[in-house]
Amino acid sequence: MQGGAIVRHVVTFGRVLREVGIEVGPGRVEDAVRGLGAVDLTRQDDVYFTLRQTLVSRHDELELFDRAFVAWFLRGPVAPLVRQKQTRQFAERVARDTLETDSDGDEADPSSTPHELGASGHELLREKDFAEMTPDEFERVRRLMAAIARTRPRRQSRRRTPDTRGDRLDLRRLCRKSLRSGGEPIEQPWKSRKTVPRKLVVLCDISGSMDAYARALLFYLHAIVGSGSGVEAFAFGTRLTRLTADLATRDPEAALARANEIAVDWGSGTRIGGSLAEFNTIYGRRALSRGAVVVIVSDGWERDDPDLVAREMAKLARAAYAIVWVNPLKGNPEYQPLAGGMRAALPFVDRFLPGHNLRSLEELGAVLAGIERRHAA
């Protein structure tokens, strides 16, 4: 292959990758071309690794890359390109859902007409159950959520900054100042630790029974992920899937639709214990939950074994700084945590909150901002 041909090949392949959802910038294409210039082009594995190492930077993109590589370079049977197909599906579904709820809302609720609500309307909206909102109300609530999401639990960083009321001497400045007094440390500059946001891990149940709430909470999550670093979001139903990257880059509706495809097996119940086990095994092992505030959003309906829920909650509680359970059903004053999964989980939960309306999300925000550890280390 000649130089020009290689460049064309790589550029086109970069476009193929972009279509399946892998971000490929021009810098990477350049690296790939330079890389290919350095290796033996007759060895297929060297070409494969060179392209993979220069064009892909995330472990979860490797599978997509492999499919694209087989299809493009080896002219293998074209495997369905997963993400692209899904995107189209959710686009269709979101459009359909929006249309349906729109017409519903118009008949059922006169407040859905797009005019400004007064202060009392605003108050009503705060109290209204997410499950009963019209799309228009929901849209307004979204904007309010962003404000709530900015409150985050904090921890002390090891980094220190000058502070007259600090707890440590700032030796660098002390030395400099002592120059003037012949080595006598007359002035004593102090410094103290800054606080930085504590890691926050959110596990959101998106199974059928949680539908309306999960949607609201995902918008809330979207706002939290946008609030800065150290936030990890996961969705679960029958399986667990990581949402962080989707929420950072995509529209929350699309993220929810994708999570639904991956994590929810319609018609079978929620596997809370199994999903927690998956989280503990894959992410807990990598210390994602260590020292984090973990928020679990679920109604606690477990299909399988409540004992498994208890076991996995115990593991999670050992690693986490604190666990907050948000259960929309708790919004009903008559609610009792009788569901097996919920009962099994409660002993390990530091805070148990509702999450059925905007006011309760505000409460959640306040708890997160001031959370203290209840359970022993």
Token pair 């159950």 is found at 129
DSSP tag of 208: G
Please tell me the distance from the alpha carbon of residue 100 to that of residue 376, in angstroms, as a whole number. 49
Q: Which of residues 228-267 bind another protein (CB under 8 A)?
A: 229-230, 232, 244-245
The verdict on 176 binding another protein (CB under 8 A) reads yes
Q: Give the total of residues touching another protein (CB under 8 A).
A: 49
For 307-338, the DSSP string reads: HHHHHHHHHHHHHSSEEEEE-GGGGSTT----
Q: Minimum distance from CB of 360 to another protein (Å)?
A: 29
Q: Which helix (H) or strand (E) holds 173?
A: helix 171-178
Q: Which is nearer to another protein, 93 or 160 (CB)?
A: 160
Q: Minimum distance from CB of 221 to another protein (Å)?
A: 16
Q: Minimum distance from CB of 164 to another protein (Å)?
A: 20
Instruction: Check if the beta carbon of residue 226 is closer than 8 Å to that of residue 149.
Output: yes
Please tell me the distance from the alpha carbon of residue 279 to that of residue 349, in angstroms, as a whole number. 17
Q: Which is nearer to another protein, 5 or 38 (CB)?
A: 38
By C-alpha distance, which of 176, 202, 204, 197 is closest to 299?
204
Please tell me the distance from the alpha carbon of residue 98 to that of residue 111, in angstroms, as a whole number. 17
Q: Minimum distance from CB of 65 to another protein (Å)?
A: 11
Q: Which is nearer to another protein, 75 or 158 (CB)?
A: 158
* Strand-strand pairing, 200-205 and 293-297: parallel
Q: Which is nearer to another protein, 21 or 230 (CB)?
A: 230
The verdict on 281 binding another protein (CB under 8 A) reads yes
In angstroms and rounded to an integer, the radius of gyration of the C-alpha atoms of the chain is 26
Q: Minimum distance from CB of 169 to another protein (Å)?
A: 9
Cα 254 from chain centre: 13
> Of the listed pieces 2-10, 28-36, 118-126, 210-218, which binds another protein according to CB under 8 A?
28-36
Please tell me the distance from the alpha carbon of residue 292 to that of residue 226, in angstroms, as a whole number. 18
Fill in the per-residue mask, 92 to 131: x = in contact with another protein (CB under 8 A), - = not in contact. Answer: ----------------------------------------
Please tell me the distance from the alpha carbon of residue 312 to that of residue 329, in angstroms, as a whole number. 22
**Binds another protein by CB under 8 A, chosen from 76, 185, 226, 347:** 185
> Of the listed pieces 85-93, 106-114, 176-184, 345-353, which binds another protein according to CB under 8 A?
176-184
Q: Minimum distance from CB of 176 to another protein (Å)?
A: 7
By C-alpha distance, which of 123, 118, 58 is closest to 362?
123
Q: Minimum distance from CB of 76 to another protein (Å)?
A: 20
**Binds another protein by CB under 8 A, chosen from 75, 115, 159, 165:** 159
Q: Minimum distance from CB of 266 to another protein (Å)?
A: 27
Burial of 42 (0-12, 13-18, 19+ CB in 10 A): exposed
**Binds another protein by CB under 8 A, chosen from 6, 31, 166, 209:** 31
The verdict on 178 binding another protein (CB under 8 A) reads yes
* CA contacts within 13 A on the Cβ side of 151: 15
The dihedral through the CA atoms of 235, 264, 259, 77 has a sign that is positive
Q: Which of residues 34-73 bind another protein (CB under 8 A)?
A: 34-35, 38-40, 45-46, 49-50, 52-54, 56-59, 62
Instruction: Check if the beta carbon of residue 117 is closer than 8 Å to that of residue 111.
Output: yes
Q: Which residues bind another protein (CB under 8 A)?
A: 23, 25, 27-28, 31, 34-35, 38-40, 45-46, 49-50, 52-54, 56-59, 62, 157-159, 171-172, 174-176, 178-183, 185, 196, 229-230, 232, 244-245, 281, 285-288, 290
